[in-house]
Amino acid sequence: MKIIIVGCGRVGEALAEQLNEEGDDIVVVDQNAAKVRDVATKYDLLGIIGNGATHSVQEEAGIGSADLLIAVTGSDELNLLCCIMAKKAAGCQVIARVKSPEYAQDISYLKSELGLAMVINPEYMAAKEIARVLHFPAAMKIDTFGRGRIELIKFRLPEGSPIAGLSVRDAMIKLKANVLICTVERGDEAYIPKGDFVFAERDVISIIAAPRAAIEFFEKINYKNEAAKNVIIIGATAMTHYLCDELVHSGVKVKLIDNDELLCNEFAMKYDDVTVICGEPTDEDLLSEEGISGADAFVSLATIDEENIMLSLYAKQQGVKKTVTKINRTEYTDVIKQLDLDSVIHPRNITADLIARYVRATKNTEGSNMETLYNIIKGKIEASEFVVGESSLIVGKPLSDLEFKENVLIAAILRAGQLVIPRGNVVIQPGDSVVIVTGELGIHDISDILKR
């Protein structure tokens, strides 16, 4: 596909990287010449300097032959205008980033009236992810399939865990747990483990299970998992708006700290149930005064990554049970792995996954529709959900008779809303939702997991 990306910020760069890796023809556009040169050179792309909302710049970028335009500048209004111009000029598919809470109620209207293929809101999606891990603090990350009927939960195996030293097969027999082990991360290595794989303390493990089965699994491995009821949030951002909506609705006590008086007043006026503190978030005395040591969770959403990292480490030192840290840049990935952080949120990766799913689904012609896509381990292992059509090559044969590529796992099957455990004698039927975990990146159709 020929794709024009307007906006070379963090989100735009993440999209350019992922879509370029998948073999799409990418053109990036931005008014900032340095950003355009940086992204274009880094990923060997065509870069256009100019206002992506103007017809002349879109023509220079090749809008007449484009399949998709994605507008992800820092301005919601500019993004919408880019999409309107592209629809008028070429009638191609358009996707807009709209992050402001002011437009939250109008998303469906905007999508319908402007003919948008998708409206993406990284801040909202990140807030939803944070709310999930605060409800289930044992998890570092929770992704959902089948509209929430199946969860993919990532967690770190603690020291002294009853399954450390056991193989996957022996652990499942011992626990009698109705979960599937999908991935294990150990240092820089990532595995889709087989039955003889042996767990070690501090392994980062991903499981797939129905929500109730997941709760039972964590109880059996002696993992305490009480939902956070008292949360401190740092940073009065758009993401904070969405997170406050989620937490207040769930009855969670929220305390927000920021040093911007205008933003603090805005939050105080909007949320009667949120305690807003106007002060310096890095002030240890202020944090102590506001009860950091007694908080169930600490969520750092400041605009500066370094500040978020240091504050979360300080919160851990003060005895906070659960920390969530927002990181915008990916340069810190290897360093962060070495730190004692609980959940790390990358909004730009959430966006890249959403759009990559859309692009792959658009390309697919072989008998299944991609519903969901997540990078479990960036650049190494991904999980995706497909609704299987009648013409799919995996329909009508027992799983044991199908020849799968290496490093592929059928993780779950949803049939009429019910979870079907993917054993060898199971036959996939048209209409099933099938979740796969694979090291074979760039899957467009579920049949791509078969040897041919």
**Residue 367, pLDDT score:** 65
Residue 197 domain boundaries: 138-220
CATH classification at residue 377: 3.30.70.1450
**Is the domain of 307 the same as that of 200?**
no
**Is residue 133, in this structure, part of any structural domain at all?**
no
Residue 413 CA to residue 420 CA, distance in Å, equals: 5
- 129 occurs within a structural domain: no
Residue 290 and residue 244 share a domain: yes
Are the CB atoms for 432 and 388 separated by under 8 Å? yes
Is the whole model's pTM more than 0.85, yes or no?
yes
Query: Which residue, 220, 238, 262, sits at the end of a domain?
Result: 220
Cβ(396)–Cβ(388) below 8 Å: no
Q: 396 and 314 in one domain?
A: no
The Cα–Cα gap between 1 and 13 comes to 18
Residue with tokens 């609705």: 249
Sign of CA dihedral 21, 22, 25, 29: negative
CA–CA dist 25, 201 (Å, integer): 43
For residue 397, the tally of other CB atoms under 10 A from its CB is 11
**Domain stops at, among 289, 321, 345:** 345
Q: What is the 3-state secondary structure (H, E, C) of the chain?
A: CEEEEECCCHHHHHHHHHHHHCCCEEEEEECCHHHHHHHHHHHCCEEEECCCCCHHHHHHHCHHHCCEEEECCCCHHHHHHHHHHHHHHCCCEEEEECCCHHHHHHHHHHHHHHCCCEEECHHHHHHHHHHHHHHCCCCCEEEEEHHHCEEEEEEECCCCCCCCCCEHHHHHHHHCCCCEEEEEEECCEEECCCCCCECCCCCEEEEEECHHHHHHHHHHCCCCCCCCCEEEEECCCHHHHHHHHHHHHCCCEEEEEECCHHHHHHHHHHCCCEEEEECCCCCHHHHHHCCHHHCCEEEECCCCHHHHHHHHHHHHHCCCCEEEEECCCCCCHHHHHCCCCCEEECHHHHHHHHHHHHHHHHHCCCCEEEEEEEEEECCCEEEEEEEECCCCCCCCCEHHHCCECCCEEEEEEEECCEEECCCCCCECCCCCEEEEEECCCCCCCHHHHECC
The one-digit pLDDT tens for each residue of the chain (452 residues) are 899 999 999 889 989 998 998 888 999 999 999 999 999 999 999 999 999 999 999 999 999 999 999 999 999 999 999 999 999 988 899 999 999 988 888 989 989 999 999 999 989 999 999 999 999 999 999 999 988 899 999 999 988 899 999 999 999 999 998 899 999 999 888 999 999 999 999 999 999 999 999 999 999 998 888 899 999 999 999 999 999 999 999 999 999 999 999 999 999 999 999 999 999 999 999 999 999 999 999 999 999 999 999 999 999 999 999 999 999 887 767 777 778 789 999 988 888 888 888 888 787 656 678 888 898 888 889 999 999 998 899 999 999 999 999 889 999 999 988 888 898 999 999 999 999 999 988 888 898 899 87
For residues 295 and 339, state if they share a domain: yes
Examine the domain organization and report whether 425 and 400 are in the same domain.
Answer: yes
Assess whether 144 and 210 both reside in one domain: yes
Query: In terms of domains, do 114 and 46 share one?
Result: yes
CATH number at residue 54: 3.40.50.720
Tell whether 350 is covered by a domain.
no
Handedness of CA 443, 445, 451, 452 (dihedral sign): negative
Q: Are 128 and 347 in contact (CB under 8 A)?
A: no
Task: Mark whether 146 and 105 lie in a shared domain.
Answer: no
Query: Is residue 78 domain-shared with residue 154, that is, in the same domain?
Result: no
CA 134 to chain centre: 15
The domain boundary, picked from 188, 220, 252, lies at 220
Apex 332 CA angle, 323 and 142, nearest 5: 45
Is residue 286 domain-resident? yes
Neighbouring C-beta atoms of residue 224, cutoff 10 Å:
10
**What is the count of structural domains for the chain?**
4
Task: Provide long-range contacts, Cβ within 8 A and 24+ apart, for 59-62.
Answer: 59/89, 61/4, 61/27, 61/29, 62/2, 62/4, 62/27
- Statement to judge: residues 269 and 317 lie in one domain: yes
CA distance 18 to 349: 9
Burial of residue 104 (number of CB atoms within 10 Å: 0-12, 13-18, 19+): middle
Contacts of residue 330, Cβ cutoff 8 Å, sequence gap at least 6 = 14, 346, 348, 349, 378
Q: Note whether 210 and 243 are same-domain residues.
A: no
Residues 330 and 421 in one domain: no
Q: Domain for residue 206, yes or no?
A: yes
Q: Find residue 183's DSSP bridge partners.
A: 206
Q: By the 8 A CB rule, do 220 and 175 touch?
A: yes
